[in-house]
Amino acid sequence: MWTKFKGTSGRCNAHARAAVRLGFHDAGSWNKYTPVGYGGADGSLILAGEISHLENNGLQNIVQIIQGWYNEYHTYGVRMADLVQMGATVATVTCPLGPHMRSFVGGKDSYNPSPEGLLPNVFVDADSLIRLFQDKTIESHGLAALDSMPGVWDILFYPQTINKVAVPPRVLKFQSDEVLSAHPDIEKYVRLSLLGVNNINKLTECTSIFPAAVNSYTSPDQNYLNEWLGGSMSSIGGAVSEAVTLTTGFWSRLVFIPGLDSHDSLLEKDAIGFDVAGVWKGSGVCS
């Protein structure tokens, strides 16, 4: 998985960020009032077609990737619920500065669609968000963001959200993040990967197979990233999304449009996919 989630720059790419979101959306569509077999970390976002829900828009590409892995390895005992959550935790550690978190397999798959309306709305107030997660048996909830340094785990999430450090123009702050960061009960990050899982004692820990965490990182192309984050160089957005190194080899593939002299005039010479080849091939058994 990690090779699918990492670009040539060493940063994690758009697939990694989507995998983190997918894991949250699959697990988070549950609360303590949800009937057994409906909602939680059960793979139903893919298996039950929940990708059609409005809140899951934008996850189509990562769903196709996870579905492909499932089709290839399901006969070996690999479950969709495990692929979704493993994808989220592998993606997290693939991102430089991302935490190395415990991860488990053995969850049950479900073809029953999760109830709608159980994921947080970006426009609600802090107290409503707290109540929403209390219903998920979580008393305090921290949010992990992958935003201001594309492809690097965002340790500036809270300082930016509460306006203690500058926020680049291309970084979008949700209203819900702003009100949540100011709420006195919020102190830590919480993972949701075991919500709705009713066979926890039978799970197998797979953390040992993860790549090592990247605890320090210096971007080789930070100047270009800063320009893009600042609102210029729009044409390199695709390369930034795929975590391509914006150095000599990259710029040799671009040309300037005659008559224009800004970086925004850059165009790709040809339609080249920046996807990184390679898929983690697991057997469904951890050692």
Indicate which residues carry an active-site annotation: 25
Q: What are the structure tokens assigned to 153, written together?
A: 């785990």
CB 70 within 8 A of CB 47: no
Smallest Cα–Cα separation from 213: which of 44, 102, 98? Answer: 98
Q: Is 275 annotated as a binding residue?
A: no
User: What are the beta bridge partners of residue 256?
Assistant: 266
Q: Is 221 annotated as a binding residue?
A: no
User: What are the beta bridge partners of residue 204?
Assistant: 105
Smallest Cα–Cα separation from 41: which of 18, 58, 65, 23? Answer: 23
| Cα torsion 176, 181, 184, 189: sign | positive
Question: CB count, 10 Å around CB of 62?
Answer: 27
**Amino acid present at 14:** A
**Alpha carbon distance 87, 147 (integer Å):** 19
Q: Is 261 annotated as a binding residue?
A: no
Q: Is 177 annotated as a binding residue?
A: no
Smallest Cα–Cα separation from 189: which of 232, 144, 134? Answer: 144
User: What are the beta bridge partners of residue 43?
Assistant: none
Query: Phi first, then psi: what are they for 105, rounded to 5°?
Result: -125, 160
**Alpha carbon distance 174, 158 (integer Å):** 12
**Amino acid present at 75:** T
Annotated binding residues for Ca(2+), written as ranges, equal: 26, 40, 42, 44
Annotated binding residues, written as ranges, equal: 26, 40, 42, 44
